[in-house]
């Protein structure tokens, strides 16, 4: 089983520092890359060039944008609820860092190896809603409040199919247990341990997307909704709510929301990679490369969807979740459980 | 205003109502329209359009200048169908005074007006999709629209606010390059229609967002004087080009697309089919373009229409554009009143929006194709 940072560094504080440093580096680079990538993908879809001025094919454009954001004045509108308004960007951003530290990006080394990793990731995902609501409520802005209202309803609803579509994987892993042999080593296998989920897929050579295609689709759709991506970008629907919950944020405070959004995309795609696409499993190339490659392919799919489809209406979104996704994921879960029992 | 709320929706007391000022600065209000929405949750109880943010006093300006000096003003009233307004004003004065228009000028006018109509509809199509959250079609439409602007720019010298019409003709003649460019554009546009159909019309999300949303019934449409594609989408086959033919439209063969449903989808379909009809008109015009002069030998600078009232209407991209001209026999109009279609369309909004959702508001207001400066004039 992979070694954790704690095993490597020995000292918990040292491991914590290295972990946070590593995660922040990856997330920052990811945000810089994703913004550029998104602009290039949209440009490609729309037959434009996209950013071309700063650096080779505009690669440094986001760096320049980030510097501009850092230099901007932080405007605090009159009448905001100060504690909520100031805390909100942090409340949205902090869980992202915590969630990112749980993902097994390589076969040999991981940041943490927790037996309830899957549950923890969903929990950290749930935290973001609180931050969004704090931002919407504290901003003293009507559009922000409407955006926050929508966001709460949407995120809470879509967490259900998200978790329900991940549960069949837990069942599949647990069915292999309680003891499972990986490369000559017997381990007590745990369905909610992300490292185990990857290891079993690599060991059997069957990625769970083959066994659970329906769950994968539901999971991907729910991830789109959880990360507020089009066609589910209703909390910040630009043409309706100006910018939704972060309407009143400027400068780096807005930057943090942006940062969190792209980091959430990465974490969502990585989680989908772990659950359905065998994580670091792949031939020739080293594990982490495969891991990131698969995650970015999913991110590309998310961008593709965003630049192709119009936005759903709020009630249609909820109907889609409660009327289609949740029943479908429950049926899928029951069928999986039944088949595991029978076969 | 709006005392008659439908019975199905009880009026909320004031402390339960959430007032939302949508606009004048809002990404989807197409300029500076302000809608004061009364909300309960996301449901709209009432809506009050507030206009006047782009008032430029064009009608008052008309009283202070001669007839020919008002020509450039007309295209600035509605900058999206500027050509139709521009030429329409000239046609009004021609009919008023009795000036003959050479055949070539008449056909050129029809061609440029229809190009202008397609341009306006393409912009509408793009911004409507933008309102619904689809960014990509917007850029495709602007790409197509750019072609028209380039073609018209070459002939008229301006891209948006034309002053191409003159009493008795047009300012500049078209050449073979114009004809070639227009033909090439029509070929290109027909290919693009197929793509738009696949990308937009067949998209399930788009259909869900539009079907049954914002129904303007025939009754409401007629009550408020809604005209143009929005009226034709409600099942009334009224088009000034057919009802009171002007400028040689009676010689062209084209259909008036109508739909029954009156919802956003019907308005979408009508506009798209109208673009196809405009293509047909342009094609006929290009084929039948006669030789000859493009206007009177000597430019008519001073003219004194006879004393009296006069009304003339043309079909702009948004509907019935009427000009009421009061002449006192001098070379400046005593009064010009412009009847612009967007104003009437907007007036119907409170009745249509009541009971819908905030997201629908954007779709509905987008679908009736408002040009705010044209409302305010």
- Give the pLDDT confidence of A22-81 residue by residue, as tens digits: 888 888 888 888 889 988 998 888 888 888 888 788 888 888 888 888 888 888 888 888
DSSP A104: -
What residues of chain B lie within 8 A of the CB of A239, using their CB? 27-28, 130-133, 362
The token pair that represents A325 in the structure block:
């996704």
- pLDDT at B1 (0 to 100): 41
Q: Select from B373, B311, B362 the least CA-distant residue to B132.
A: B362
Is A324 an interface residue toward B (CB < 8 Å)? no
Condensed to tens digits (0 to 9), the pLDDT of residues B257-280 reads: 888 888 888 999 999 999 999 998
**Residue A343 burial (CB count, 10 A):** 6
Place of tokens 């006018």: B109
Contact flag A238-B133 (C-beta cutoff 8 Å): yes
Instruction: Reply yes or no on domain B58-376 having CATH 2.30.40.10.
Output: no
- Residue A46: CB atoms within 10 Å: 17
- Asked if the C-beta of B206 comes within 8 angstroms of chain A's C-beta atoms, the answer is yes
Alpha-carbon dihedral sign for residues A133, A138, A144, A146:
positive
The residue of chain B nearest to residue A143, with distances taken between CA atoms, is B20
Q: Which chain A residues have a beta carbon less than 8 Å from that of B40?
A: none
SS3 A4: strand
* pLDDT value of residue A239: 65
pLDDT tens digits for B46-62?
A: 888 888 888 888 888 88
pLDDT at residue B2 above 70?
A: no
Exposure string of B72-89, with b = 16+ CB inside 10 Å and e = fewer, is ebbbbbbebbbbbbbbbb
End-to-end Cα separation, chain A, in angstroms? 28
Look at the block and give the residue holding tokens 């954007």: B362
Read off the pLDDT of residues B213-226 as tens digits, 9 standing for 90 and up. 888 888 888 888 88
Give Cβ neighbours of residue B50 (< 8 Å, ≥ 6 apart): B23, B24, B33, B34, B35, B36
pLDDT of residue B241: 85
Read off the pLDDT of each residue in A250-279 and give the average, rounded to a whole number.
86
Kind plus residue range of the DSSP H or E element containing A131: helix A117-138
- DSSP per position, B18-76: EEEEE-SS-TTSTTT-EEEEEEETTEEEEEEEE--TT---HHHHHTTS-TGGGHHHHHH
Alpha-carbon distance B180 to nearest alpha carbon in chain A (angstroms): 25
Burial of B33 (0-12, 13-18, 19+ CB in 10 A): buried
pLDDT in tens, A198-255: 878 877 878 888 888 888 889 999 888 888 887 877 766 666 777 777 888 888 888 8
**B90, two tokens:** 């000239």
Contact B299, B172 (CB under 8 A): no
Q: What is the pLDDT of residue A307?
A: 87
Mean pLDDT across chain B: 85
The pLDDT value given to residue B118:
92
Q: What is the pLDDT of residue B14?
A: 64
Q: Quote the distance between the C-alpha of residue B15 and its chain's center.
A: 40
Please name the residue of chain A whose CA is at the shortest distance from the CA of residue B134: A310
Which residue from B205, B32, B132 is spatially nearest to B362, judged by alpha carbons?
Answer: B132
**Distance between CA A312 and CA B133 in Å, rounded?**
8
- Decide: B137 and B129 in contact? Cβ < 8 Å: yes
Q: Which residue in this structure is represented by tokens 């990679």? A: A273
Contact status of A319 with chain B (Cβ, < 8 Å): no
If you search the block for the tokens 């390589």, which residue do you land on?
A106
Query: In this model, does residue B12 exceed pLDDT 70?
Result: no
Mean of pLDDT over chain A: 83
Out of B21, B203, B209, the one facing A313 most closely (by C-beta) is B209
* Distance, CA of B297 to CA of B93 (rounded, Å): 18
Cα(A253)–Cα(A135) distance, integer angstroms: 11
- Helix, strand or coil for residue B338? strand
**Interchain contact, B20 vs A308, CB within 8 Å:** no
Tell me which of A79-93, A117-131, B4-18, B237-251 is least confident: B4-18
| Domain extents in chain B | 58-376
Helices (H), A242-320: 251-276, 287-306, 314-319
Query: Closest Cα to residue B122, out of B158, B66, B67, B81?
Result: B81
Q: Do B136 and A42 touch (CB under 8 A)?
A: yes
């Amino acid at each position: 089983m992979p070694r954790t940072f704690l095993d490597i560094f020995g000292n918990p504080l040292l491991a914590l520092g290295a972990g946070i440093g590593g995660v922040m580096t990856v997330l920052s680079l990811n945000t810089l890359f994703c913004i550029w990538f998104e602009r290039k993908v949209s440009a490609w879809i729309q037959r434009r060039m996209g950013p071309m001025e700063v650096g080779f094919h505009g690669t440094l454009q986001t760096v320049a944008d980030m510097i501009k954001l850092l230099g901007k004045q932080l405007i605090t509108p009159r009448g905001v609820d100060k504690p909520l308004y100031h805390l909100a960007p942090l409340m949205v951003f902090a869980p992202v860092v915590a969630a990112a530290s749980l993902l097994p990006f390589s076969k040999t080394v991981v940041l943490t190896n927790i037996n309830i990793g899957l549950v923890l990731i969903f929990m950290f995902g749930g935290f973001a809603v609180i931050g969004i609501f704090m931002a919407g409520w504290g901003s003293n802005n009507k559009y922000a409040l409407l955006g926050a209202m929508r966001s709460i309803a949407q995120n809470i609803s879509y967490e259900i199919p998200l978790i329900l579509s991940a549960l069949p994987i837990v069942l599949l892993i647990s069915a292999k247990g309680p003891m499972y042999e990986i490369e000559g080593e017997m381990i007590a296998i745990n369905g909610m341990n992300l490292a185990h989920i990857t290891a079993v897929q690599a060991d059997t050579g069957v990625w769970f997307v083959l066994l659970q295609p329906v769950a994968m689709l539901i999971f991907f759709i729910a991830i789109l909704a959880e990360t507020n991506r089009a066609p589910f970008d209703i909390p910040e629907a630009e043409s309706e709510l100006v910018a939704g919950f972060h309407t009143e944020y400027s400068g780096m405070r807005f930057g943090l929301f942006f940062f969190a959004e792209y980091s959430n995309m990465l974490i969502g795609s990585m989680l989908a990679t772990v659950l359905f696409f065998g994580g670091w499993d792949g031939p020739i190339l080293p594990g982490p490369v495969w891991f990131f490659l698969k995650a970015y392919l999913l991110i590309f799919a998310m961008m593709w969807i965003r630049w192709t489809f119009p936005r759903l209406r709020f009630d249609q979104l909820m109907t889609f979740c409660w009327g289609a996704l949740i029943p479908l994921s429950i049926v899928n879960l029951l069928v999986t459980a039944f088949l595991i029992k029978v076969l | 205003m709006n005392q008659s709320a439908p019975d199905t929706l009880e009026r909320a007391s004031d402390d339960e109502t959430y007032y939302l000022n949508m606009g004048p600065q809002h990404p989807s209000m197409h300029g500076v329209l302000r809608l004061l929405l009364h909300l309960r949750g996301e449901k709209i109880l009432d809506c009050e359009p507030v206009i006047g943010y782009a008032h430029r006093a064009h009608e008052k300006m008309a009283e202070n200048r001669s007839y020919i000096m008002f020509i450039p003003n007309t295209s600035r009233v509605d900058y999206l169908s500027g050509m139709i307004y521009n030429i329409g004003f000239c046609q009004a004065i021609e009919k008023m005074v009795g000036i003959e228009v050479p055949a070539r000028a008449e056909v050129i006018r029809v061609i440029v007006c229809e190009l202008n109509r397609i341009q306006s509809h393409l912009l509408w199509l793009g911004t409507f999709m933008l309102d619904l959250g689809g960014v990509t079609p917007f850029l495709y439409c602007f790409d197509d629209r750019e072609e028209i602007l380039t073609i018209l720019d070459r002939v008229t010298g301006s891209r948006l606010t034309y002053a191409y019409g003159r009493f008795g003709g047009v300012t500049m003649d078209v050449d073979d390059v114009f004809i070639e460019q227009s033909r090439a554009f029509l070929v290109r546009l027909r290919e693009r229609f197929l793509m738009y159909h696949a990308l937009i019309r067949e998209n399930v999300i788009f259909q869900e967002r539009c079907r049954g949303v914002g129904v303007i019934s025939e009754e409401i449409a007629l009550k408020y004087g809604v005209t143009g594609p929005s009226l034709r989408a409600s099942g009334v086959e009224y088009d000034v080009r057919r009802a009171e033919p002007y400028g040689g439209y009676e010689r062209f063969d084209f259909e008036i697309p109508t739909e029954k449903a009156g919802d956003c989808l019907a308005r979408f379909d009508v506009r798209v089919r109208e673009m196809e009809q405009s293509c047909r008109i342009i094609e006929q015009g290009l084929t039948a373009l006669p030789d000859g002069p493009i206007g009177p030998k000597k430019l008519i600078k001073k003219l004194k229409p006879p004393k009296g009232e006069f009304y003339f209407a043309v079909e702009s991209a948004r509907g019935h554009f009427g000009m009421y001209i009061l002449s006192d026999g001098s070379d400046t109009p005593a009064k010009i009143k412009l009847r612009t279609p967007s104003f009437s369309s907007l007036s119907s909004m409170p009745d249509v929006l009541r009971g819908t959702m905030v997201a629908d508001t954007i779709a509905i207001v987008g679908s009736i194709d408002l040009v705010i400066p044209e409302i305010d004039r």
